[in-house]
């Protein structure tokens, strides 16, 4: 069923990521009326030097 691809800056703790995926899974199941086994979440950690907004790297 739903698969979420989430990109975050590096540095989140395992506890923060665990809380995040639990919250996303819960709201997805409630909203889409599906079981948690059908919700996939892929977290990709990105270095600030590889992310830019408005023409400026976040590492600067």
Q: What's the predicted TM-score (pTM) here? A: 0.86
Condensed to tens digits (0 to 9), the pLDDT of residues 16-58 reads 999 999 999 999 999 999 999 999 999 999 999 999 999 999 9
Q: What is the predicted pLDDT for the residue at 1?
A: 82
Tell me how far apart the alpha carbons of residues 54 and 1 are, in angstroms, rounded to a whole number.
Answer: 34
CATH assignment of the domain containing 9:
3.30.429.10
- Over residues 3-15, mean pLDDT: 97
Tell me how far apart the alpha carbons of residues 30 and 10 are, in angstroms, rounded to a whole number.
Answer: 29
Q: Which residues span the domain enclosing 22? A: 3-47
Select which of 1, 2, 32, 47 is catalytic. Answer: 2
Known catalytic residue: 14?
no
As for how many domains the chain has, the answer is 1
Q: What is the predicted pLDDT for the residue at 42?
A: 98
């Amino acid at each position: 069923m739903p698969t979420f691809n989430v990109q975050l800056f590096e540095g989140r703790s395992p506890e923060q990521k665990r809380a995040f995926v639990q919250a996303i899974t819960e709201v997805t199941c409630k909203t889409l009326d599906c079981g948690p086994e059908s919700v996939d979440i892929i977290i990709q950690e990105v270095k600030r030097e590889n992310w830019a907004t408005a023409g400026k790297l976040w590492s600067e």
